[in-house]
Structure formats: structure tokens, C-alpha cells
Amino acid sequence: MDQINIYSADEIISRIIVEDGIEALDACLEPYAAVYVVMDSNVAMQCPAAYELSQMLNRRGVPGMLLEVSEEAKSMETVIDICGWLLDNGADRDALVLAVGGGITTDMVGFAASLYKRGVRFAYVPTTLLAQVDAAIGGKTGVNFGGYKNMLGTIRQPEFTYICPQVLESLPMEAFQAGASEMLKTFIIEDNDNYRPAVQLLAELASEFIAAAEGNTYSYSMEKWPEILSERLSELTPFIAAAAKVKAGVVSRDQFEGGERRKLNLGHTFAHAIEALAHKQHNDIDHGHAVALGMVYAARLAEKLGMAEEGFATMIEKDLDSCLLLVMSPYGVREMADAMGKDKKAEGGKVHFVLPRAVGDVVIHDMTVEEAVELLS
């Protein structure tokens, strides 16, 4: 078992446990007298490890709630439903609410737990790569509001986050790409040593996926994807742990996003604008692809400002493209301007743009959206 800690001063406030199998979760639950599980219904039906988890929880007599998960359902209405279910099932202040699912699930359940009875304990079993390397780490919870992502929420740390790469075996290709983008983002921020090897592994997985499609239908290659991924999971695990360690370190130094933690938003100012535009046009773009596009824009802006060497943005673009991530935007920067101005990171008319000077070296640069658009146009 590999344990990574999140600290406040010298006190451990949250634990990240990386374990090959799901069975060690039982020991993690042992200290809690009352556990209530909220699980993504898709995980319950499609993830082989979910059956083992369900058997474990059934032996403990743990009550469970299934969530229908989507960006549309990521709302206060769903949070209220979760709180109502906890109340109906007698959850008290000593309860532990266990969220099993991807980032949408952990965001909503963490938010509900932080509100229910003014805050009860909660923990996560993230079942997507994106949640394992990003969404389930650091204590941010929230729901969408007014057409914008995560506008309502709290920052409150889970008791623990149990990362089991085994649960990724049934993860669809599109969901895997979302996590791959966030993992590479983490390495661009603060881990030059792991960035290039991670790109190589992800590019090899992408090549194997493309090879499976040759002479076959696209649906055939999608069916082959779980087999391709499961054969390389052991190689992926160290990168998952490394990304989790980077984020845990940043959060330990700046839990409430007063400064350094803003670096974790690399690519997200552009990404959230792209997602908002796509949503309004009923043409949703996956979060991972939006973040990849956002990182390309951020690298281009860094070049324009003279912060990064010429050709850096092209290198990032080629690396992301080799992993089958989207690098050509359907929208121009002027179209994105309004949404960027409404970004959560906007203050005093300026946005905290996170810009990469090199792999492993990013800075926060405050400027107006108009200034950024002018440079990128």
C-alpha cells in the first residue's frame, strides 16, 4: 500500500491510498461505525471491481444509493436528493459517506456531505483516471450553475481517497483520455521527470488503439480498448501515483487556493470557456479534450509574452496529439472571451492565467481577457 498525505501545517488532513486491489478498502472503513455509499449507476453496472466492492459493503450492511451521473445532473437538485437520502436512512453526525464513481460523483457527494448536518465525514473511491489524478484529490467539491462549471461548491478534505487502478479496466476510451489530459497537465506543472515517459506510454496506448481499428470498424476498436488498457495498467500505476503526489504537495502548501494552488488550473480557463460554448450549442466537448486545448492556448500565450521558448507550444501540441487528444479548437479565442470573463478565477477585471514557461515550470500571470485575446488572435 502506497500512502500519500495532504497536510495542514504538520497535521495530516487527508490520505491518498494507492492499492492494486479493492480488498484493502475494507481495512480503511474499519474505524467508521456508520458508512453510507453513493455510487455512480454506470460503475455499478459496468465495472468488474464494483461487484467485489458491493459484496464487501453488503457484508458490512452498508446502505447504498445509485446516482444517474451526467453534467446536466451535476446540480443542486441532485445534492439535495443525496442529503434527503442520507436523512431518510438515518445518517448522523458520525457518518462516513463513501462516494464511488468519477469526478462528477465525487464532486457532488463531497458537496452534499459538506452541507449535510453542517458537515459529515466523507471518502472517495474514484473510478476514472481523471478522478484518480485530479478531481478526487484536494477537497474541491461543487456543482454547475448558470451554464458554468463548478460555480457552487466548497473546499473540504475527504478522510481518504482510495485509488485502485484495477477499477480502470472497464474505462471507456473517451473517459481515459480525459484523465490522460489531466495527468499530463500535472506533470507540465511540476514534474519534468515523469512528463516525457508518460507521453510515451500514452502515445503507445493510442497507437495500439489505432492499430486495432485498421481493417475493422470503430466500434470494434472501442470493444478492444479495455483489453489494450488492462495489459498496460501496471505501467500506468506509477504515473497515477506520481500525479497524485504532485497535487497533494501543492494542496498541502495552499489548501484554499490563495496562490500556488492556482497553478493546478493550467488550461482550465480556456477549457471551461470551450465547454460553456459547446454546451450552449448542444455540442458537448469532453473535459479532457477541452483541457488539452486549453494547455495549447496557454503555451501559445506564454510564447507570445516571451515567457516560453519559441516552439514550446508546438511541442506540447504534438505531444497531446500523439495521445489522441484534441488540439484544434472549433472556436476562436474571440468567441471564448465572454465565458473566460465569467471564469471563477477572474478578479478585479483580470484573470489568473496559468502559463507554462517549460515542462515543470508554470507561472500565474494576471491580465485582462481582452489582452489575452489580442495576443492570440
- Marked catalytic residue, from 11, 30, 59, 118: 118
Q: What is the β-pairing status of strands 95-101 and 121-126?
A: parallel
* DSSP output for 5-28: EEEETTEEEEEEEE-SSSTTHHHH
Q: What is the β-pairing status of strands 2-8 and 11-18?
A: antiparallel
pLDDT for 295-312, tens place per residue? 999 999 999 999 999 999
- Marked catalytic residue, from 140, 149, 245, 289: 140
pLDDT number for residue 346: 64
Residue 232 annotated to the active site: no
Compute φ and ψ for 75, nearest 5 degrees.
-145, 170
Three-state SS at 171:
coil
Residue 279 annotated to the active site: no
- Pairwise CA distance, residues 276 & 340, whole Å: 10
Residue 262 annotated to the active site: no
Residue 140 annotated to the active site: yes
Residue 224 annotated to the active site: no
Is the pLDDT reported for residue 360 higher than 70? yes
111: which 3 cell numbers? 458537496
- Marked catalytic residue, from 19, 182, 275, 303: 182
Residue ranges of domains in the chain: 2-170, 172-377
Task: Judge if 2-170 and 172-377 fold alike in CATH terms.
Answer: no
For domain 2-170, give its CATH number from 3.30.390.10, 3.40.50.1970, 3.40.190.10, 3.30.70.100: 3.40.50.1970
**Which stretch of 176-185, 318-327, 329-338, 355-364 has the lowest confidence by average pLDDT?**
329-338
Is the pLDDT reported for residue 349 higher than 90? no
Residues with Cβ within 8 Å of 51's Cβ and at least 6 positions away in sequence, in order, are none
Compute the chain's Rg from CA coordinates: 20
Report whether 356 contacts 365 (CB < 8 A). no
Residue 272 annotated to the active site: yes
Residue 245 annotated to the active site: no
Classify domain 172-377 at the CATH class level. Answer: mainly alpha
Choose among 131, 183, 176, 134: nearest CA to 319: 183
Task: Write the DSSP symbol of residue 316.
Answer: H
Q: Where are the alpha helices (DSSP H) in 191-285?
A: 192-213, 218-253, 268-280
Tell me which residue has cell 500505476: 237
Whether the model clears a pTM of 0.85, i.e. scores above it, the answer is yes
- Amino acid identity of 41? S
Residue 268 annotated to the active site: yes
119: which 3 cell numbers? 458537515
- Pairwise CA distance, residues 129 & 44, whole Å: 17
Residue 58 annotated to the active site: no
Is the pLDDT reported for residue 276 higher than 90? no
